[in-house]
């Protein structure tokens, strides 16, 4: 049996199985039923067909009827890293792992940074299984370092994807750029309670950003329309750990008196004084 001989609906279901094994490390018939609304017999046929196409990719755990990713797993679909990350961030959609035809009228932004699918899949399995990872990481300040991390989220900061994780070297929660990982592997030992997401105070603290058109602009109505402002203000509730990325990505002037003059500064942070104890402003425009 060859993939090209299957109909589109079959390929979509098999791609979902392949995706789940690759990035979550497991798949069950219940997952297929929930996703596609098919019957039990149909799910069994899909899993049997997948195992026929890739006999070494999954192992059936008889005690819970769960198929788990084998050590010899090799994806039979090409899961594009950017599509994978959008899928993980926004939920599964049709065609998430199958090829897409480019639109002649709708174009996305050009991306210069492209994460590696193998790195992303290992990190996602660590998050999904509540595991730690051992890795080599290339840092701008320290060069190549060996680290043990307990990841709990992958985040797009507007320019690139990074991992939010507890770093056992520094003993604190930090951000790690996905493209800077080298060797990476899962660890079997369970993380300690202080290494889990519940203890990441910056991540679990929400703050409100009040963004207004930059005071130096003469025609602020256009900016209000661009950002869907209400009464001249855009209020965003974001995690404190992510606020600095939002402010930098949108070139929000974070000076005390809106003193930045470049044309790229169309927004101003009106409520900075109430946020100084919550947000690290070291990388924001000020």
For 144, the enclosing helix (H) or strand (E) is: strand 143-156
Euclidean distance between CA atoms 44 and 127, whole angstroms: 28
> What mean pLDDT do residues 109-122 have?
88
> What mean pLDDT do residues 188-206 have?
95
> What mean pLDDT do residues 119-123 have?
94
* pLDDT bucket at 91, cuts 50 / 70 / 90: low
- % of the chain with per-residue pLDDT over 70: 92
pLDDT score at 267: 97
pLDDT score at 95: 42
pLDDT top residue among 227 and 98: 227
- % of the chain with per-residue pLDDT over 90: 74
- Helices 8-23 and 40-53 pack at an angle, to 10 degrees, of 70
* pLDDT bucket at 286, cuts 50 / 70 / 90: confident
Least reliable range by pLDDT among 43-47, 65-69, 100-104, 137-141:
100-104
pLDDT score at 169: 95
Give the up-direction half-sphere exposure of residue 149: CA atoms within 13 A in the CB hemisphere. 29
Strands 143-156 and 161-167 turn out to be antiparallel
Euclidean distance between CA atoms 54 and 117, whole angstroms: 19
Q: What is the pLDDT of residues 62-87, one digit of tens each?
A: 999 899 999 999 999 988 877 777 66
pLDDT score at 98: 46
Among 245, 90, 129, 130, smallest CA distance to 177 is for 245
Whether 100 has a pLDDT exceeding 80, the answer reads no
DSSP state, residue 153: E
Strands 133-139 and 143-156 turn out to be antiparallel
Whether 248 has a pLDDT exceeding 60, the answer reads yes
pLDDT top residue among 84 and 29: 29
Structure tokens at 21: 């094994």
pLDDT score at 96: 45
């Amino acid at each position: 049996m060859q993939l090209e001989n299957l109909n589109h609906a079959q390929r979509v279901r098999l791609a979902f199985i392949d995706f789940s094994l690759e990035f979550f490390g497991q798949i069950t018939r219940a997952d297929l039923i929930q996703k596609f609304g098919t019957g039990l017999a149909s799910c069994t046929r899909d899993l049997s067909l997948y195992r026929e196409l890739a006999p070494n990719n999954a192992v059936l755990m008889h005690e819970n009827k769960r198929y788990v990713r084998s050590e010899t797993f090799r994806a039979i679909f090409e899961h594009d890293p950017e599509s994978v990350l959008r899928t993980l961030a926004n939920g599964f959609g049709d065609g998430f792992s199958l090829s897409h035809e480019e639109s002649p009228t709708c174009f996305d932004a050009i991306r210069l940074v492209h994460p590696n699918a193998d790195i992303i899949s290992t990190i996602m399995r660590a998050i999904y299984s509540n595991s730690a990872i051992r890795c080599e990481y290339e840092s701008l300040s320290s060069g190549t370092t060996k680290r043990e991390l307990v990841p709990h989220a992958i985040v797009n900061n507007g320019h690139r994807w990074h991992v939010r994780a507890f770093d056992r070297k520094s003993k604190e929660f930090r951000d790690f750029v996905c493209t800077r990982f080298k060797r990476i592997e899962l660890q079997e030992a369970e993380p300690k309670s202080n290494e889990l997401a519940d203890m990441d105070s910056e991540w679990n603290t929400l703050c409100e950003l009040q963004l207004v058109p930059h005071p130096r602009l003469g025609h602020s109505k256009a900016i209000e329309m661009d950002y869907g402002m209400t009464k001249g203000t855009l209020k965003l509730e974001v995690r404190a750990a992510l606020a600095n990325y939002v402010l930098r990505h949108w070139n929000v002037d974070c000076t005390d008196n809106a003193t930045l003059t470049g044309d790229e500064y169309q927004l101003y942070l009106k409520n900075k004084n109430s946020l100084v104890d919550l947000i690290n402003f070291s990388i924001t425009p000020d």
